[in-house]
């Protein structure tokens, strides 16, 4: 019997960010392994015209939850969606709901965050810092609370090369930042943002670091742990391999590469690609929840959920395997044939951006105009290149994360728990994982049918022929222009022609 699964039985669990990528997998695993849990409260806002109930209904009816419905048929009754907006005071939770949360909650998993790299500082602070502070305040009023698990990121200290399982202070206190957001206007905040974030690449990593400081400062008597996952990718094993539902991290780039939009990137092939499957993060999170509540460590423990030091894979190998998978299972209606050129040089990268990305987009838009359609490719390409430029920071560096606490936890688990809540990435076969990831992107993000593969391959062959034809035409035009200007080129050309005629006549 799994001790961790048994621990969550009969518990009331509060999850923020349950509608997000990680939150959904966390809920799924909880219901599947501890179907006798009492209730999961999820803080949900309305979005895209959907009520909170409609959003929950959609999640429970997705493929991800198919197994859950078999083991926990009354899952609908065990999930309680509470309307909440983490940007509002008291999260805009009604008095009755707040009362219920305060009196019943046993465990909190705080996953909600803004993960956008370009969020204005004010918004990122509101969600990643102030909301965390408010949630801690709520937690301190929960008499039955056993553990508060905060999800941070391994990149909260990405300005360092070696990162230990400790909280590193930021030069300006989070409280001062929160206060200043109240009275500074947007223009001034934008102006001081680069100075505040310092050598971090974006507001996301900076505010996640501030969030950790808030957790440390406001922890009081709470039993708290912090989990720092690296780049979270599709599921490895559970509930099935390759599940993914958003474009963050590598997923969007896999689409862009598979559809032939992105053919080169400024990336260091030997840099460690510290990807971690989302089900591994969730298994560690649940194990940490159990350990924190049962063993009550004296201080706030931080757990690095990373792959690099256990089972490293680099970007070069990853790109190669992604391309190999495109050969077997190409994406439909590709713009160009997929390719993966890695360059570490900024000038070469700009050259490839011009030749391999912008020029084809301009030519395609010209074709759209000629055929009476609205040009759109240049705009799309510009957005993609902007996205890529924001991710480049993470594909040109390697980090070392110490994993003392994570390894300690692994050794504390019973063999059964090590199996059911496996977070040992040494067992991960990267080639298999990446292949399943690409397949998952095709199935669950692009919603493409496997039956369309022969047609997709045929399309790629057509693109290859167009490519050859285009290159030949380009060569002939260039050559023709050269012949008109240079006697030497003319001589070479006639020599080649004569040789060809000579050999053809023999």
Ligand X SMILES: NC(=O)C1=CN([C@@H]2O[C@H](COP(=O)(O)OP(=O)(O)OC[C@H]3O[C@@H](n4cnc5c(N)ncnc54)[C@H](OP(=O)(O)O)[C@@H]3O)[C@@H](O)[C@H]2O)C=CC1
Query: Looking at 5, 7, 14, 17, which residue binds ligand X (CB under 6 A)?
Result: 17
112 binds, among ligand 9NY, ligand X, none (CB under 5 to 8 A by kind): ligand X
Residue facing ligand X at closest CB distance: 20
User: Min. distance of Cβ 396 from ligand 9NY in angstroms?
Assistant: 10
Query: Looking at 81, 121, 340, 409, which residue binds ligand 9NY (CB under 6 A)?
Result: 340
Q: For residues 361 and 380, is the Cβ–Cβ distance under 8 A?
A: yes
Task: Tell me how crowded residue 95 is: count the other CB atoms within 10 A of its CB.
Answer: 8
Q: Confirm or reject binding of residue 250 to ligand X (CB under 6 A).
A: no
Among 86, 58, 72, CA closest to 28:
72
Alpha-carbon distance 453 to 346, whole Å? 36
Give, as ranges, the residues between 110 and 139 that touch ligand X (CB under 6 A): 111-115, 127
Q: For residues 378 and 362, is the Cβ–Cβ distance under 8 A?
A: yes
Alpha-carbon distance 74 to 367, whole Å? 55
Q: For residues 398 and 272, is the Cβ–Cβ distance under 8 A?
A: yes
Query: Looking at 153, 235, 283, 285, which residue binds ligand X (CB under 6 A)?
Result: 153
Cα within 13 Å of Cα(132), Cβ side: 33
Q: Confirm or reject binding of residue 248 to ligand X (CB under 6 A).
A: yes
User: Min. distance of Cβ 493 from ligand X in angstroms?
Assistant: 56
130 binds, among ligand 9NY, ligand X, none (CB under 5 to 8 A by kind): none
Give, as ranges, the residues between 229 and 248 that touch ligand 9NY (CB under 6 A): 231, 247-248
Task: Pick between residue 46 and residue 465 the one whose CB is nearest to ligand X.
Answer: 46
Q: Confirm or reject binding of residue 134 to ligand 9NY (CB under 6 A).
A: no
Burial of 401 (C-beta count, 10 Å sphere; 0-12/13-18/19+): buried
Query: Looking at 395, 420, 425, 428, which residue binds ligand 9NY (CB under 6 A)?
Result: 395
User: Considering just the CA atoms, what is the radius of gyration of the chain in Å?
Assistant: 27
Alpha-carbon distance 475 to 87, whole Å? 58
Q: Confirm or reject binding of residue 86 to ligand X (CB under 6 A).
A: yes
Q: Confirm or reject binding of residue 132 to ligand 9NY (CB under 6 A).
A: no
Task: Pick between residue 5 and residue 381 the one whose CB is nearest to ligand 9NY.
Answer: 381
Maximum alpha-carbon separation in the chain: 97
Among 84, 162, 63, CA closest to 127:
84
Query: What pairs with residue 264 in β-bridges?
Result: 341
Query: Looking at 17, 241, 242, 319, which residue binds ligand 9NY (CB under 6 A)?
Result: 319
CA distances 227 to 40, 152, 244, 296, Å, are 20, 6, 20, 16
Q: Confirm or reject binding of residue 444 to ligand 9NY (CB under 6 A).
A: no
Dihedral angle computed from the Cα positions of residues 99, 103, 105 and 111, in that order, rounded to the nearest 10 degrees? 40
Q: Which stretch binds ligand X (CB under 6 A): 20-28, 310-318, 322-330, 333-341?
A: 20-28
387 binds, among ligand X, ligand 9NY, none (CB under 5 to 8 A by kind): ligand 9NY
Q: Confirm or reject binding of residue 378 to ligand X (CB under 6 A).
A: no
DSSP string, 30-66: HHHH-TT--EEEEEE--BTTB-HHHHHHHHHTSGGGH
Q: Which stretch binds ligand 9NY (CB under 6 A): 35-43, 260-268, 293-301, 349-357?
A: 260-268
Task: Tell me how crowded residue 3 is: count the other CB atoms within 10 A of its CB.
Answer: 16
Task: Pick between residue 54 and residue 248 the one whose CB is nearest to ligand 9NY.
Answer: 248
Q: Confirm or reject binding of residue 93 to ligand 9NY (CB under 6 A).
A: no
User: Min. distance of Cβ 83 from ligand X in angstroms?
Assistant: 10
Q: Confirm or reject binding of residue 97 to ligand X (CB under 6 A).
A: no
Q: Confirm or reject binding of residue 52 to ligand X (CB under 6 A).
A: no
In the three-class reduction of DSSP (H, G, I as helix; E, B as strand; rest coil), residue 450 is classed as helix
DSSP string, 226-254: EEEE-EEES-SSSSSTT---S-TTHHHHH
User: Min. distance of Cβ 114 from ligand X in angstroms?
Assistant: 6
Q: Which residues contact 168 (CB under 8 A, 6 or more apart)?
A: 157, 160, 209
Where along the sequence are the contacts to ligand 9NY (CB under 6 A)? 115-118, 153, 155, 231, 247-250, 252-254, 256-257, 262-265, 267, 315, 318-319, 322-323, 340, 383, 387, 390-391, 394-395
Where along the sequence are the contacts to ligand X (CB under 6 A)? 17-23, 43, 45, 47, 84-87, 111-115, 127, 151, 153, 208, 229, 231-232, 246, 248-249
């Amino acid at each position: 019997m799994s001790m961790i699964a048994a621990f969550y039985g009969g518990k009331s669990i509060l999850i923020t960010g349950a509608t997000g990528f990680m939150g959904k997998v966390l809920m799924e695993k909880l219901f599947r392994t501890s179907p006798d849990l009492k209730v999961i409260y999820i803080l949900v806002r309305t979005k895209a015209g959907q009520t909170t109930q409609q959003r929950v209904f959609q999640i429970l009816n997705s493929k991800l939850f198919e197994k859950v419905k078999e083991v926990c048929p009354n899952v609908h009754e065990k999930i309680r969606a509470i309307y909440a907006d983490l940007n509002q005071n008291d999260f805009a939770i009604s008095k009755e709901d707040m009362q219920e949360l305060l009196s019943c909650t046993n465990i909190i998993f705080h996953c909600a965050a803004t993960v956008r790299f370009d969020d204005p500082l004010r918004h990122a602070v509101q969600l990643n810092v102030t909301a965390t502070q408010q949630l801690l305040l709520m937690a301190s009023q929960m008499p039955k609370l056993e553990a508060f698990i905060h999800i941070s990121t391994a990149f909260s200290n990405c300005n360092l090369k070696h990162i230990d399982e400790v909280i590193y202070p930021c030069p300006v206190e989070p409280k001062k930042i929160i206060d200043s957001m109240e009275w500074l206007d947007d223009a001034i905040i934008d102006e001081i943002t680069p100075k505040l974030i310092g050598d971090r690449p974006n507001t996301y990593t900076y505010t996640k670091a501030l969030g950790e400081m808030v957790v440390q400062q406001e922890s009081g008597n709470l039993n708290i742990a912090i989990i720092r996952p690296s780049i979270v990718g599709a599921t490895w094993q559970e509930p099935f391999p390759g599940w993914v539902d958003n474009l963050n991290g590598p997923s969007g780039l896999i689409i862009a590469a598979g559809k032939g939009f992105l053919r080169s990137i400024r990336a260091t092939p030997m840099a460690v690609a510290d990807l971690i499957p989302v089900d591994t993060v969730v298994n560690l999170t649940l194990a940490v929840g159990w350990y924190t509540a049962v063993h009550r460590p004296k201080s706030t423990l931080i757990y690095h959920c990373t792959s690099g030091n256990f089972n490293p894979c680099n970007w070069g190998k990853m790109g190669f395997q992604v391309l190999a998978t495109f050969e077997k299972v190409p994406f439909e209606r590709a713009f160009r044939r997929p390719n993966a050129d890695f360059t570490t040089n900024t000038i070469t990268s700009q050259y490839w951006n011009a030749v391999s990305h912008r020029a084809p987009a301009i030519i395609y838009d010209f074709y759209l105009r000629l055929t009476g359609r609205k040009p759109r490719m240049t705009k799309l390409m510009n957005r993609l290149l902007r996205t890529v430029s924001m991710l480049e920071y993470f594909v040109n560096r390697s980090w070392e994360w110490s994993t003392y606490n994570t390894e300690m936890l692994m050794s504390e688990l019973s063999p059964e728990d090590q199996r059911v809540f496996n977070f040992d990435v040494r067992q991960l076969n990267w080639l298999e994982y990446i292949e399943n990831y690409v397949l998952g992107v095709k199935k669950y993000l692009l919603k493409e049918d496997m039956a369309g593969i022969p047609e997709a391959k045929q399309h790629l062959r057509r693109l290859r022929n167009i490519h050859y034809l285009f290159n030949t035409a380009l060569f002939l035009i260039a050559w023709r222009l050269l012949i008109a200007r240079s006697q030497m080129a003319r001589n070479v050309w006639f020599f080649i022609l004569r040789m060809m005629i000579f050999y053809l006549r023999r």
